[in-house]
Structure 1
Amino acid sequence: MGAKESLTGDGPAPEMHHYYSKFMRECPSGQLSLHEFKKLLDLQGLHPQGDMYIKRVFDIFDLNQDGFIDFLEFIAAINLVIRGKIDQKLKWYFKLYDADGNGCIDKKELLNIFTAIQAINGYTSTSPEEFTDMVFQKVDVNNDGQLTLEEFITGVEKDEGLMELITKTFDLSNVLKVIQSGRRHSI
């Protein structure tokens, strides 16, 4: 009886079915390409910096790096956005910033990603240079010009203002709203 109740109630099974239906409606092949991802989010024809950011987000969601986001990767991304704890989100942000994948963020990487995000959302209260300098000033405790994952998480968690700025700037709730509504745009 317990299993039957979870299927008809508000538990994870109906929610999973809802997302599966939307995913398959948007992507009948079961694999979402970068082009389809941009189309789904209405992010085509962006400034090159914005395009770079969207590709970076796509690559991080593509956990097995096969060039597609399948349903399980899609659900993992949604789960991070909806239910992810702050340390999980900070790890995701770190991975997003670490463009070369060397386990450290340098100023150029952070500057590039923040510039790309501004190209998409028009956020202008802080320039990319000011943002980058502020993060490194507050977080780079050993002043080596690189942020490790530990430095990044510890530094951001200790500074409420920086945490708020990073959370707002890199908020993925708009992506989630598009996914939940199943918005589809024609080419």
Structure 2
Amino acid sequence: MGCCSSKLPKSPGYEDPAILASVTPFSVSEVEALHVLFQKLSNTIIQDGLIHKEEFQLALFSNRSRRNLFADRIFDLFDIKRNGVIEFGEFVRSLGIFHPNAPIEDKIKFAFRLYDLRQTGYIEREELKEMISAILHESDLILSDDVVETIVDKTFSDADTKGDGKIDQEEWKEFVFKHPSLLKNMTLPYLTDITLAFPSFIEKSDAEDFET
């Protein structure tokens, strides 16, 4: 049992560590460690105990002005209540999906929502192209539009088994099982040993994720 859950100052959206531990892969003591981390992150720019997008950007890139579609989408999905900020409970619940022990189904669903930019329940061609371009850009890989188009074409050729010009959740699940490297950014090994250093969600990636 954690040593200090009752002593933690209550921030907006605070949830009891025991409750969060019961619905995430984290232990009570790990949730408490995450709360200390959350407090640091949520007060780096705006002192209100909530993580704003600028603070999220600062934690990811050490630069609050650097915008990236990939980071924006991660923020949007962490912001479960869709009120423009990340509360403590949202932070722990969402981060739990990246835990090595989190169910693969949760990782697949999260990744699908990441690519479903318009929130239509499908991944459309333009959405896939936008996300691939953003990931490549964040990985400092500069590819021509023709190469990106080729990657998108091949991905749709493999994933869109129904041939209707979009990828639904069932097709995405089958595609990911055939190409598990697509989920490599969905698991952060060091979450099994929480430290007070914010984990970067951005791992160096390359076009092979979509070509293999």
TM-score when scaled to structure 1? 0.78
Partners of 1:135 and 1:118 in 2: how far apart? Answer: 15
Indicate how the Cα distance of structure 1 residues 133 and 67 shifts in structure 2: closer, same or farther if over 3 A, else same: same
Deviations 1:99-152 (A, max 9, x none): 000111111100100100111122569943333222211111111110111111
Q: Which amino acid aligns with 1:182?
A: A
Deviations 1:139-176 (A, max 9, x none): 1111111011111112321x1xx222x123x4463997
Partners of 2:151 and 2:84 in 1: how far apart? Answer: 31
SS across alignment from 1:182 = coil
Q: Which amino acid aligns with 2:2?
A: L
TM-superposed CA distance for 1:78, in Å, is: 1.5
SS across alignment from 2:61 = coil
Q: Identify the match of residue 118 of structure 1 among 129, 136, 141.
A: 136
Kept in 2: contact 1:94–1:152 (CA 8 A): yes
Displacement over 4 Å in runs of 4+? 123-127, 174-177
Partners of 1:141 and 1:129 in 2: how far apart? Answer: 19
Q: Identify the match of residue 2 of structure 2 among 1, 7, 13.
A: 7
SS across alignment from 1:122 = coil
Equivalent residue number for residue 50 of structure 2: 31
**Which runs of 5 or more residues in structure 1 are unaligned?**
1-5
Partners of 1:128 and 1:116 in 2: how far apart? Answer: 11
Does 1:21 pair with 2:16? no
Equivalent residue number for residue 93 of structure 2: 76
Q: Percent of aligned positions with the same letter in both sequences?
A: 25
In terms of fraction of residues, the more helix-rich structure is 1
TM-superposed CA distance for 1:25, in Å, is: 2.3
Deviations 1:22-70 (A, max 9, x none): 1112224221000000011225343xxx622211110011000000011
Does 1:60 pair with 2:80? no
**Which runs of 5 or more residues in structure 2 are unaligned?**
4-25, 199-212
* RMSD of aligned alpha carbons: 2.8
SS across alignment from 1:81 = coil
Q: Which amino acid aligns with 1:119?
A: H
Partners of 1:96 and 1:174 in 2: how far apart? Answer: 20
Kept in 2: contact 1:26–1:182 (CA 8 A): no
Equivalent residue number for residue 129 of structure 1: 149
Deviations 1:81-106 (A, max 9, x none): 01322221111111010100011111
Kept in 1: contact 2:176–2:183 (CA 8 A): no
